[in-house]
Structure 1
Amino acid sequence: MTVVAEALKPLPALHAQFGPPRVILSATGRTDIMPEQIEAFRFNLLAGKTLRESVINGTDGTPDLIIRCASYIDPVTRVVRYAVDYWSVLDYYAIDTTVRAVSEAMYEGVVRGEFAAPTLRLDLGRFTRGLASFYDVTDVI
């Protein structure tokens, strides 16, 4: 099956087929990796390749929220993994999987979820034209 066909499956079906995502970073400190490995994962994820990104900038022009889908090298296994990296001025977390299609579906879910239930206080103008006006940068339509 192609990556495109996999990405069209609903997220629960993808998780059933490929397994649930792994929490690698969390503001709460609860992750599925060893605590002593967190900094290595953070470094590798930040150095990874951004595949997709959605951003909300604050009034000062700097990002208040960044959601990205990225590929990175797992520092323990040395294999490529795909992550959804969520960072805001209020929270952060990253979840990953071995399958890009699963990561892409999770990314779109997080981007749409933030629009449906915003975690930031935003002016009403951001809600006038859907995702296009909500995010300053997005590739989800």
Structure 2
Amino acid sequence: MKAALVLPSSAQLSERYGPMRPVLGTNATELRREQRSTYTFALLGGKTLRESLIKDSGCTVLSIALVEYIDPVTLKTRYAVHHCAFPVEWATDHPVRLVAESAYEDAVRAEFAAPTLTLSREQFTRGLASFYDVTDVQF
């Protein structure tokens, strides 16, 4: 007998625990402009739990990371999805890790579906495994 664990969708998790809070990017309206750099440093100094990368000539050109960090205003642990691909950078966070994990996987799949970078055709041949140089998300 095989048992399968069925996790709720992002929509179900958001309905139950509330939506992800925009921290960086154009939708980050809850934060004052002067707080954005503080949040950027907090995210960059946080603990990376999961990460998907695209590299070019040894340099990272796209990074989507699930980060555990301390909110610089409330001093509480939060979990963020940080997407960085110059010139696009955004981050959302939530106090519940499961909600952030689901949002991370959604962000990785969304980047594959609609890339922000111009990439070669070869990177699309085998799904997420060939699209990202490093990823832990299964399609």
TM-score (norm 1): 0.89
**Displacement of 1:9:** 0.6
SS at structure 2 position matched to 1:75:
coil
**Number of residues of Structure 1 aligned to a counterpart in Structure 2:** 134
**Displacement of 1:31:** 3.2
Partner residue of 1:138?
135
Query: Match of 1:131, as an amino acid?
Result: L
Query: Match of 1:20, as an amino acid?
Result: P
* Distance in 2, Cα, partners of 1:104 & 1:70: 10
SS at structure 2 position matched to 1:33:
coil
Residue segments in structure 1 that go unaligned for 5+ positions in a row: none
**Displacement of 1:86:** 0.2
Partner residue of 1:55?
53
**Displacement of 1:11:** 0.7
Partner residue of 1:21?
20
Pairing 1:101-140 to 2, within 5 Å after superposition? 101-140=98-137
Query: Match of 1:21, as an amino acid?
Result: M
Larger displacement relative to structure 2 (38-47 or 95-104): 38-47
Query: Match of 1:41, as an amino acid?
Result: Y
Pairing 1:25-104 to 2, within 5 Å after superposition? 25-26=24-25, 28=26, 30-58=28-56, 60-104=57-101
Residue segments in structure 2 that go unaligned for 5+ positions in a row: none
* Distance in 1, Cα, partners of 2:75 & 2:62: 29
Taking only the aligned residue pairs, the percentage that are identical comes to: 49
**Displacement of 1:90:** 3.0
SS at structure 1 position matched to 2:49:
strand
* Distance in 2, Cα, partners of 1:78 & 1:34: 17
Query: Match of 2:23, as an amino acid?
Result: I
Query: Match of 1:87, as an amino acid?
Result: C
Aligned Cα root-mean-square deviation (Å): 1.5
Partner residue of 2:7?
8
Superposed CA deviations along residues 86-138 of structure 1, whole A, max 9, x for unmatched, are: 00023010000000000000000000011111111111110111100100000
TM-score (norm 2): 0.91
SS at structure 2 position matched to 1:139:
coil
